[in-house]
Structure 1
Amino acid sequence: MRTVDEHLADILGNVAVLPPLDLALLEAQGTVLAEAVSAPVPLPPFDNSAMDGYAVVAADVAAATEADPVTLPVIGDIVAGDTGVSALRPGLTARIMTGAPLPAGADAVIPVEWTDGGNATVRISRAAPSGHYIRRAGEDVPAGQVVVDAGSRLGAPQLGMIAAVGRSRVTVRPRPRVVVVSTGDELREPGEPLAPGQIWESNSYMLTAAVVEAGGVGYRQATVEDEPAKVLEMFHDQLVRADAIVTTGGVSMGTRDVVKEVLAGTGTVGFHKVRMRPGKPQGFGLLEGVPVFTLPGNPVSAYVSFQVFVRPALRAMQGLAPDPLPTVSAVLTDDVKSPPGLRHYMRGLLSFSHGSYTVTAAQSQGSHQLGSLASANALIELGEDAEALPAGSHVEVMRLP
Structure 2
Amino acid sequence: MEQQPSVEELLAKLLEIAAPLAPFDMPLLDAHGATLASDIYAGERLVLRSGSRIRSTQIGLAASIGLDRLPTLPHPRVVVISAGDDLVEPGQALADSEDEFETNSWMLTTAVREAGANGFRVHTIPENHQQLREVIEDQLVRADLIVISGERHDESFELITAVLKELGEITTVRPKMSESGLHNFGLIGPDSTPVITLPGDPVVAGIAAEIFVRPMIRKMLGAPNIFRNQLKAKLKNSISAVPGESGFVRAVLSSENGVIATALEEQGDLVSLSDANSLIIIPENSAGIKAGEIVDVMVLERSSN
TM-score, normalised with respect to structure 2: 0.91
Q: 1:236 aligns with which of 129, 133, 137?
A: 137
Larger Rg: 1
Task: Work out whether 1:393 is the aligned partner of 2:296.
Answer: no
- CA gap of 1:203–1:351, structure 2 versus 1, over 3 A, is same
Report the count of equivalent residues.
Answer: 295
Contact 2:87 2:151 in 1 (8 A): no
Secondary structure of the residue that 1:269 maps to in structure 2?
Answer: strand
Q: 2:127 aligns with which of 204, 209, 226?
A: 226
Task: Work out whether 1:275 is the aligned partner of 2:181.
Answer: no
CA–CA distance in 2 between the matches of 1:374 and 1:252?
21
Task: Work out whether 1:164 is the aligned partner of 2:64.
Answer: yes
The structure that is helix-richer by fraction is 2
CA–CA distance in 2 between the matches of 1:194 and 1:224?
15
Partner letter of residue 220 of structure 1?
A: R
Where in structure 1 are there 5+ consecutive unaligned residues? 41-143
Q: What's the offset of the Cα at 1:153?
A: 1.5
- CA gap of 1:339–1:19, structure 2 versus 1, over 3 A, is same
Secondary structure of the residue that 1:13 maps to in structure 2?
Answer: helix
- Residue 364 of structure 1: aligned partner: 266
Contact 1:278 1:304 in 2 (8 A): no
Q: Equivalent residues in 2 for 1:1-400 (5 A)?
A: 1-40=4-43, 144-197=44-97, 198-249=99-150, 254=155, 257-264=158-165, 266-288=167-189, 289-321=192-224, 323-354=226-257, 356-366=258-268, 369-400=269-300
Contact 2:53 2:223 in 1 (8 A): no
Contact 1:18 1:317 in 2 (8 A): yes
CA–CA distance in 1 between the matches of 2:95 and 2:228?
38
Partner letter of residue 328 of structure 1?
A: L
Q: What per-residue deviation string (whole Å, max 9, x for no partner) do you get for residues 237-279 of structure 1?
A: 1001111110112698747631112223641221111001232
Q: What per-residue deviation string (whole Å, max 9, x for no partner) do you get for residues 380-401 of structure 1?
A: 1100111111101111111124
CA–CA distance in 2 between the matches of 1:296 and 1:357?
33
Contact 2:150 2:157 in 1 (8 A): no
Instruction: Let me know the Cα RMSD of the aligned residues.
Output: 1.8
Q: Identity of counterpart residues, as a percentage?
A: 38
Contact 2:79 2:139 in 1 (8 A): yes
Where in structure 2 are there 5+ consecutive unaligned residues? none
Q: What per-residue deviation string (whole Å, max 9, x for no partner) do you get for residues 159-207 of structure 1?
A: 0111122222111010001001111222111111222222221111111
TM-score, normalised with respect to structure 1: 0.70
CA–CA distance in 2 between the matches of 1:168 and 1:264?
44
